Protein backbone atom coordinates (compact mmCIF):
# COMPACT_ATOMS: atom_id res chain seq x y z
CA UNK A 1 0.00 0.00 0.00
CA UNK A 2 1.28 3.46 -0.92
CA UNK A 3 1.54 6.13 1.72
CA UNK A 4 2.04 9.88 1.53
CA UNK A 5 2.39 12.65 4.12
CA UNK A 6 -0.65 14.86 4.47
CA UNK A 7 -0.54 18.64 4.83
CA UNK A 8 -4.19 19.12 5.71
CA UNK A 9 -4.13 17.27 9.04
CA UNK A 10 -7.32 18.84 10.42
CA UNK A 11 -9.34 17.75 7.39
CA UNK A 12 -7.90 14.26 7.67
CA UNK A 13 -8.88 14.00 11.35
CA UNK A 14 -12.38 15.20 10.53
CA UNK A 15 -12.79 12.54 7.85
CA UNK A 16 -11.49 9.86 10.21
CA UNK A 17 -14.22 10.83 12.68
CA UNK A 18 -16.91 10.86 9.99
CA UNK A 19 -15.90 7.41 8.70
CA UNK A 20 -17.68 5.43 11.42
CA UNK A 21 -21.12 6.74 10.43
CA UNK A 22 -20.41 7.61 6.77
CA UNK A 23 -22.32 4.66 5.29
CA UNK A 24 -25.32 5.19 7.56
CA UNK A 25 -25.44 8.90 6.72
CA UNK A 26 -25.47 8.14 2.99
CA UNK A 27 -27.92 5.22 3.19
CA UNK A 28 -30.94 7.13 1.84
CA UNK A 29 -29.12 8.87 -1.02
CA UNK A 30 -27.10 5.81 -2.03
CA UNK A 31 -29.82 4.47 -4.34
CA UNK A 32 -29.68 7.68 -6.38
CA UNK A 33 -25.88 7.77 -6.26
CA UNK A 34 -25.40 4.10 -7.10
CA UNK A 35 -27.57 4.25 -10.22
CA UNK A 36 -25.68 7.27 -11.55
CA UNK A 37 -22.30 5.71 -10.80
CA UNK A 38 -23.21 2.55 -12.69
CA UNK A 39 -24.20 4.63 -15.71
CA UNK A 40 -21.03 6.69 -15.93
CA UNK A 41 -18.71 3.83 -14.97
CA UNK A 42 -19.68 2.00 -18.15
CA UNK A 43 -17.12 4.30 -19.75
CA UNK A 44 -14.31 3.28 -17.38
CA UNK A 45 -11.55 1.41 -19.21
CA UNK A 46 -8.03 0.11 -18.56
CA UNK A 47 -6.18 1.13 -15.43
CA UNK A 48 -8.58 3.10 -13.24
CA UNK A 49 -7.90 5.60 -10.47
CA UNK A 50 -10.71 6.53 -8.10
CA UNK A 51 -10.04 9.68 -6.12
CA UNK A 52 -11.72 10.18 -2.74
CA UNK A 53 -12.95 6.62 -2.47
CA UNK A 54 -14.25 7.02 1.08
CA UNK A 55 -15.53 3.70 2.45
CA UNK A 56 -15.71 2.22 -1.07
CA UNK A 57 -19.47 2.57 -1.57
CA UNK A 58 -18.74 2.75 -5.30
CA UNK A 59 -17.35 -0.78 -5.35
CA UNK A 60 -20.69 -2.42 -6.17
CA UNK A 61 -21.16 -0.12 -9.17
CA UNK A 62 -18.03 -1.05 -11.13
CA UNK A 63 -18.20 -3.62 -13.91
CA UNK A 64 -16.47 -6.87 -12.80
CA UNK A 65 -12.81 -7.70 -13.44
CA UNK A 66 -11.54 -4.13 -13.52
CA UNK A 67 -8.04 -3.14 -12.35
CA UNK A 68 -7.96 -0.03 -10.21
CA UNK A 69 -6.27 2.05 -7.55
CA UNK A 70 -8.41 3.92 -5.01
CA UNK A 71 -7.07 6.81 -2.93
CA UNK A 72 -8.38 8.74 0.04
CA UNK A 73 -6.83 11.09 2.58
CA UNK A 74 -8.46 9.31 5.53
CA UNK A 75 -6.84 6.17 6.92
CA UNK A 76 -10.04 5.23 8.73
CA UNK A 77 -12.07 5.52 5.52
CA UNK A 78 -9.58 3.22 3.81
CA UNK A 79 -9.70 0.74 6.68
CA UNK A 80 -13.46 0.44 6.28
CA UNK A 81 -13.13 0.28 2.51
CA UNK A 82 -10.72 -2.65 2.81
CA UNK A 83 -13.43 -4.70 4.53
CA UNK A 84 -15.49 -4.54 1.32
CA UNK A 85 -12.78 -5.63 -1.13
CA UNK A 86 -13.69 -9.31 -0.85
CA UNK A 87 -17.05 -8.49 -2.45
CA UNK A 88 -15.48 -7.37 -5.74
CA UNK A 89 -14.30 -9.66 -8.54
CA UNK A 90 -11.34 -7.62 -9.69
CA UNK A 91 -8.04 -6.11 -8.57
CA UNK A 92 -8.12 -3.07 -6.26
CA UNK A 93 -5.26 -1.38 -4.44
CA UNK A 94 -6.15 1.08 -1.69
CA UNK A 95 -3.76 3.98 -1.13
CA UNK A 96 -3.61 6.94 1.19
CA UNK A 97 -3.15 10.07 -0.86
CA UNK A 98 -4.23 13.61 -1.67
CA UNK A 99 -5.55 14.51 -5.13
CA UNK A 100 -3.70 17.83 -4.93
CA UNK A 101 -0.37 16.01 -4.81
CA UNK A 102 -0.70 12.55 -6.35
CA UNK A 103 2.34 10.29 -6.14
CA UNK A 104 1.81 8.51 -9.48
CA UNK A 105 3.89 9.05 -12.60
CA UNK A 106 2.61 11.10 -15.53
CA UNK A 107 0.10 9.34 -17.80
CA UNK A 108 -0.40 6.31 -15.55
CA UNK A 109 -4.17 5.81 -15.83
CA UNK A 110 -6.70 5.31 -18.60
CA UNK A 111 -9.59 6.51 -16.42
CA UNK A 112 -9.88 8.75 -13.38
CA UNK A 113 -13.20 8.66 -11.51
CA UNK A 114 -14.58 10.96 -8.80
CA UNK A 115 -17.91 10.77 -7.00
CA UNK A 116 -19.00 13.75 -4.80
CA UNK A 117 -15.36 14.57 -4.07
CA UNK A 118 -14.38 17.99 -5.38
CA UNK A 119 -16.69 19.84 -3.01
CA UNK A 120 -14.21 18.92 -0.27
CA UNK A 121 -10.92 19.54 -2.11
CA UNK A 122 -9.37 22.75 -0.77
CA UNK A 123 -7.83 23.73 -4.12
CA UNK A 124 -10.04 22.06 -6.76
CA UNK A 125 -8.15 23.39 -9.80
CA UNK A 126 -4.87 22.03 -8.45
CA UNK A 127 -6.55 18.68 -7.81
CA UNK A 128 -7.95 18.61 -11.33
CA UNK A 129 -4.55 19.47 -12.78
CA UNK A 130 -3.09 16.49 -10.92
CA UNK A 131 -5.87 14.26 -12.26
CA UNK A 132 -5.02 15.52 -15.76
CA UNK A 133 -1.31 14.84 -15.22
CA UNK A 134 -1.78 11.17 -14.31
CA UNK A 135 -4.24 10.53 -17.16
CA UNK A 136 -2.98 9.04 -20.41
CA UNK A 137 -3.43 11.12 -23.57
CA UNK A 138 -6.56 9.25 -24.62
CA UNK A 139 -7.82 8.84 -21.05
CA UNK A 140 -11.07 10.09 -19.55
CA UNK A 141 -12.01 11.87 -16.35
CA UNK A 142 -15.45 10.70 -15.16
CA UNK A 143 -17.15 12.83 -12.52
CA UNK A 144 -20.34 12.95 -10.47
CA UNK A 145 -20.30 16.25 -8.62
CA UNK A 146 -22.33 18.88 -6.79
CA UNK A 147 -21.99 22.10 -8.78
CA UNK A 148 -23.02 25.74 -8.81
CA UNK A 149 -26.46 26.32 -10.35
CA UNK A 150 -27.04 28.81 -13.18
CA UNK A 151 -30.67 29.20 -12.11
CA UNK A 152 -31.12 32.34 -10.00
CA UNK A 153 -33.53 30.82 -7.47
CA UNK A 154 -31.71 27.51 -7.19
CA UNK A 155 -28.42 29.34 -7.02
CA UNK A 156 -29.62 31.39 -4.06
CA UNK A 157 -30.89 28.31 -2.22
CA UNK A 158 -27.65 26.47 -2.93
CA UNK A 159 -25.67 29.45 -1.64
CA UNK A 160 -27.66 29.49 1.60
CA UNK A 161 -27.33 25.74 2.13
CA UNK A 162 -23.64 25.94 1.30
CA UNK A 163 -23.11 28.29 4.25
CA UNK A 164 -24.33 25.51 6.55
CA UNK A 165 -22.26 22.89 4.74
CA UNK A 166 -19.14 25.02 5.10
CA UNK A 167 -19.86 25.60 8.79
CA UNK A 168 -20.07 21.83 9.30
CA UNK A 169 -16.68 21.51 7.66
CA UNK A 170 -17.93 19.31 4.81
CA UNK A 171 -16.65 21.50 1.99
CA UNK A 172 -18.11 23.68 -0.74
CA UNK A 173 -21.04 22.34 -2.80
CA UNK A 174 -21.35 25.57 -4.78
CA UNK A 175 -18.32 25.41 -7.06
CA UNK A 176 -18.22 26.02 -10.80
CA UNK A 177 -16.68 22.63 -11.51
CA UNK A 178 -17.14 22.85 -15.28
CA UNK A 179 -15.16 26.10 -15.41
CA UNK A 180 -12.56 24.64 -13.03
CA UNK A 181 -12.11 21.73 -15.44
CA UNK A 182 -11.44 24.10 -18.32
CA UNK A 183 -8.98 26.07 -16.22
CA UNK A 184 -7.17 22.83 -15.36
CA UNK A 185 -6.73 21.97 -19.05
CA UNK A 186 -9.66 19.66 -19.73
CA UNK A 187 -12.11 19.59 -22.60
CA UNK A 188 -15.69 18.75 -21.65
CA UNK A 189 -17.00 15.88 -23.79
CA UNK A 190 -20.26 15.23 -21.93
CA UNK A 191 -22.18 17.27 -19.34
CA UNK A 192 -25.50 15.97 -18.07
CA UNK A 193 -27.74 17.37 -15.33
CA UNK A 194 -28.83 14.72 -12.82
CA UNK A 195 -30.75 16.84 -10.31
CA UNK A 196 -31.72 20.06 -12.10
CA UNK A 197 -28.31 21.65 -12.61
CA UNK A 198 -27.20 21.12 -9.00
CA UNK A 199 -25.65 17.72 -9.66
CA UNK A 200 -23.89 16.80 -12.89
CA UNK A 201 -22.36 13.80 -14.63
CA UNK A 202 -19.28 15.02 -16.49
CA UNK A 203 -16.90 13.33 -18.91
CA UNK A 204 -13.72 15.26 -19.73
CA UNK A 205 -10.49 14.61 -21.63
CA UNK A 206 -7.13 16.36 -21.82
CA UNK A 207 -7.25 19.44 -23.99
CA UNK A 208 -4.69 19.14 -26.78
Inform me whether the pLDDT recorded for 2 exceeds 70: no
Residue 32, domain member (yes or no): yes
In a domain, 68, yes or no: yes
| Residue 185 resides in a domain | yes
Range(s) of the domain holding residue 60? 9-206
C-alpha torsion 206→182→51→59, nearest 10: -80
Residue 4 lies in a domain: no
Domain containing residue 128: CATH number: 3.40.50.150
Residue 2 lies inside a defined structural domain of this protein: no
**Which pLDDT band holds residue 21 (cuts at 50, 70, 90)?**
low
* CA 33/CA 29 separation, integer angstroms: 6
Segment 73-93 shows an average pLDDT of 87
Global pTM? 0.81
Provide the domain count of the chain.
1
Bridge-based pairing of strands 47-51 and 67-72 is: parallel
pLDDT at 19 over 60: no
Amino acid sequence: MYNVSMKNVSAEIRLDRVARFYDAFNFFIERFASRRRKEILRQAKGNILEVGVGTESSLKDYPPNEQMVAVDTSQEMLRRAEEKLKNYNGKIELCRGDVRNLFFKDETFDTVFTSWVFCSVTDPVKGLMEARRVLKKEGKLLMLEHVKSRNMALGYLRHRSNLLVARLGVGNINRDTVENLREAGFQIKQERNLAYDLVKAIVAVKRS
